[in-house]
Structure 1
Amino acid sequence: MTIIGDSGRQIGPLTDAEAVELLGADGADLEDLCARADALRRDLVGDTLTFVVNRNLDTERVGAGTDESRERVRALVAEAAGLGATEICMQGPLPAGAPRDGYLDLIRTITGAAPGIHLHAFRPAEVADAAARLGVTPREFLRRARDAGLGSVPGTGAKILDDDVRTRWAGGPDLPVSDWVDLITTAHEVGLTSTATMVFGHDETPAQQVAHLRLLAGIAERTGGFTEFIAMPFTPPPGAAAPAHTRPTVREMRAVIAVARIMLAGRINHLQAPWPKVGARDAITLLRGGADDLGGLLLDGELDPSAGQEQGLSLTRADVDKIAAELGRPARQRTTRYGLA
């Protein structure tokens, strides 16, 4: 695919070497890169700033599988739906002692609490865990999950799709790249969409970032199952021994978004500016350089705000409108799959 940017200048397809060079862009070169990525964004998806109204739940905190925990989940989901949420997002493994079919039970509980709510849940590692608990293949679990009401899976846990990097980051063995790819691909094949992600800025090289994007683009070409791409800056976990370079700079974040826009064009056309990870101000900067989506509002609610993994991080519709006004773009609520909400 040849991608034409502003003023008719060709900006794609990129060789790996060209993409690596662009990731190092700075000064006027960076401004030019971001302007062309933003022009490509406009050509592909228009000027509308999209967002989804969702609530984040932590599987371990709500998935005990008892009558009491089910009632709590139903109340949390009903509250979210009452506040306007169209999506429940859930990540993390089941707690110890949960029933062997606990993942399926949780899906049924959530989707039964608010008919029409979209459940976006269970990373590849949790899909593998759920299948192992039930003694079935991941494909069979995903089929059962789909039939129980699961709508999509988070493509998180991707980190950098390089086994050496993943082992270093985890401090030991991590889910192998081949397993992550197989689990995501299988989810797409049974009719579940997913996000695509990259966590960057630890000790990986620009070449490894480019290889990661190439791999995602290849999956997207085969399955068409990715709804969006989210690039998240690495943040050391509390108490962890951090490398000397602990967080990407704004320059690095802008370059990654711009290069991802060019490399993924026609394969994954929606790029999110992850405001909970970068803050609203830097999210606006990324939305001026190739990103088009703001992600979820992450409603906390009042019943049990601590039930979510990102408690205290929430946007209102007024916040979104303010961001859209600063960008000079219209804002529109979307569904998980980018339909009209």
Structure 2
Amino acid sequence: MFCPFMSVATVEDALIDKVLAGERITREDALALYLLPLVELGELANRRRNLIKQDAFDGRGNDIVTYIIDRNINYTNVCNVYCKFCAFYRTEKDEDHYVLSHEQLDQKLDELSAIGGVQILLQGGHHPKLDIDWYLAMLSHIREKYPHINIHGFSPPEFNHFSEVFQMPLREVIAKFKEAGLGSIPGGGGEILVDRVRNRIAPLKCDSDHWLKVMEIAHELGLNSSATMMFGHVETLEDRIEHLDRLRVQQDATGGFTAFICWTFQPEHTKLRAEPVGSGEYLRMQALSRIYLDNIENLQSSWVTQGPKIGQVALKYGANDFGSVMMEENVVSSAGTSFRLAKEEIEFLIQDAGYEARRRNNWYQLLD
């Protein structure tokens, strides 16, 4: 505990020492760290990254930045939750709504395999009419025809939707999906895990407890997942920190989060009116997330929303992973942000920042 008679400078020094020692910080600590100069906060995050990664990859974790070759596949754009921040969804009445056939999936997976891809991020809208047999057939088809591709699929809001539509307990749905071929679960739909915020931006999407429940069950069933945060809209700084705290508590309990990714709200073509925050705010929150989430080993740089250069800078603000080559992305690009990078460009950006670029799989095991 800090003495009430300590000077502000002394309190700040004590908090910095706490961070550098690798100790767990509190919510109050996070609020104080947020006020530090951006470069100073970034350096603290970089030091925490090095503490966490120093023993990885046979002791070379501080020298390596990883990336994955995968593809985002949105199997349908039909959705009935109408999130205000989403420009991707369609209703069944819209002429450009779709549901992918197995043949269309195969074409996308063949293209991914041709460039050495090892994973798909498989997500869709909340389609009100697709039944469980449709999903299980899709998973089985991919697993049997493309056994080298990990299916990283279906966000927690989707699983809550499935449970309602299929009239089936959540645990049973997730277990059946795993048996059919699901390999891991993305952290999509996390937005901000504060229900007051969720009720404003996505009132028909599952609440924060139900989002976390999917992750709890998945981890118990042996499925790893990622965790995310989409910020810079109607939330407060305290809301962001509560979000991080809920993830940290969940990770303490189940240990199934492999990585954390945060990004800023992209406003174009959406119904949500909010002044977008800049790259500086993104870097500040990523740095703070690295320090707060002391039990999640990997942090991805969000170059998809921030652009390649800020994605590169983020490697000095706590990130140890450059995300994905992502040969296809539809959701963020629908909101007006569209960055694309080939494998060679990602490797150059990593190496230019002073690290060795290495490919990985979903479980952060090195390939090559």
TM range (shorter): 0.7 to 0.9
The residue that corresponds to 2:366 in the other structure is 340
Relative distance call for 1:313 and 1:109 in structure 2 (3 A) is: farther
TM-score scaled by structure 2? 0.81
Matched, 1:33 2:41: yes
Instruction: Name the counterpart of 2:31.
Output: 20
Matched, 1:288 2:304: no
Counting only pairs closer than 5 Å after superposition, residues 150-189 of structure 1 correspond to structure 2 as 150-170=182-202, 172-189=203-220
Aligned to 1:93: 125
CA 1:68/1:278 → structure 2, altered by over 3 Å: closer, same or farther? closer
Which residue of structure 2 aligns with residue 140 of structure 1? 172
Question: Which of residues 42, 48, 52 is equivalent to 2:50?
Answer: 42
The aligned residue for residue 279 of structure 2 is 250
CA distance in 2, matches of 1:254, 1:68: 36
Identify which of 59, 80, 83 aligns with 2:115: 83
- Whether contact under 8 Å (1:202, 1:247) holds in the other structure is yes
**What do residues 6-38 of structure 1 show as CA deviations (whole Å, max 9, x unaligned)?**
999546422212201222333xxx222211211
SS at match of 2:138: helix
The answer to whether the 8 A contact 1:49-1:294 is kept is yes
1:124 is matched with: 156
User: Aligned match of 1:54 in 59, 70, 95?
Assistant: 70
Structure 2 CA distance for partners of 1:203 and 1:68, relative to 1, 3 Å = closer
Cα distance, 1:180 vs structure 2: 0.8
Gaps of 5+ in 2: 1-13, 54-61, 79-91, 93-97
Any conservation in 2 of the 1:52–1:335 contact (CA below 8 Å)? yes
Partner letter of residue 168 of structure 1?
R
Deviation at 1:179, TM superposition (A): 0.8
Stretches of structure 1 lacking an aligned partner (at least 5 in a row): 301-305
Aligned to 1:235: 266
**Superposed displacement of residue 68, structure 1:** 8.5
List per-residue Cα deviations over 1:199-253 (Å, max 9, x = no partner).
111121111111111110111111110010001111225142412xx22222221
Once residues 201 and 8 of structure 1 are traced to their aligned partners in structure 2, the CA distance between those partners, rounded to angstroms, is 25
Structure 2 partner of 1:298 = 326
Q: In structure 1, what is the equivalent of residue 6 of structure 2?
A: none
Q: Distance in 2 between the 1:67 and 1:164 partners?
A: 33
Structure 1, residues 281-306: CA drift from partner, whole Å, max 9, x if none?
11111111111111111124xxxxx8
Question: Which of the residues 261, 274, 288 maps onto 2:290?
Answer: 261
Following TM superposition, by how much is the alpha carbon of 1:55 offset from its aligned partner in structure 2, in angstroms?
Answer: 0.9
Whether the aligned pair in 2 keeps the contact of 1:94 and 1:102 (CA below 8 Å) is: no
- The structural deviation recorded for 1:325 is 2.2
Using the size of structure 1 for normalisation, the TM-score is 0.87
- Per mean C-alpha deviation after superposition, the further-off stretch among 13-22 and 118-127 is 13-22
Classify the secondary structure of the residue corresponding to 2:63. coil
8 A contact 1:55–1:87 mirrored in 2: yes
CA 197–241 in structure 1, closer or farther in 2 if over 3 Å, else same: closer
Q: Who is 1:303 aligned against?
A: none
Matched-pair contact (CA < 8 Å) for 1:104–1:148: yes
CA contact (8 A) 1:298 1:313 kept: no
C-alpha change, 1:201 and 1:68, in structure 2 (3 Å) is closer
Tell me what 2:303 maps to: 275
> Contact 1:153 / 1:193 at 8 angstroms: preserved in 2?
yes
Count of residue pairs the alignment pairs up: 324
Contact 2:187 2:228 in 1 (8 A): yes
For residues 230 and 255 of structure 1, do their structure 2 counterparts lie closer, same or farther at Cα, with a shift above 3 Å needed? same
Identity over aligned residues, as a percent? 30
Work out the CA distance in 1 between the residues paired with 2:18 and 2:126: 52
Q: Decide which of 342, 348, 363 is 1:316's aligned counterpart.
A: 342
Cα 1:104/1:11, change in 2 over 3 Å = same
Greater alpha carbon shift after TM alignment, 91-100 vs 207-216: 91-100
Residues 153-183 of structure 1 show CA distances to partners (whole Å, capped at 9, x for unaligned) of 111111111000111122x343111111111
- CA gap of 1:213–1:97, structure 2 versus 1, over 3 A, is closer
Matched residue SS, 1:60:
coil
Match of 2:353 in 1: 327
Is 1:200 the counterpart of 2:200 in the alignment?
A: no
1:221 aligns with 2:249: no
Per the TM alignment, residue 279 of structure 1 is displaced from its structure 2 partner at its CA by 0.8
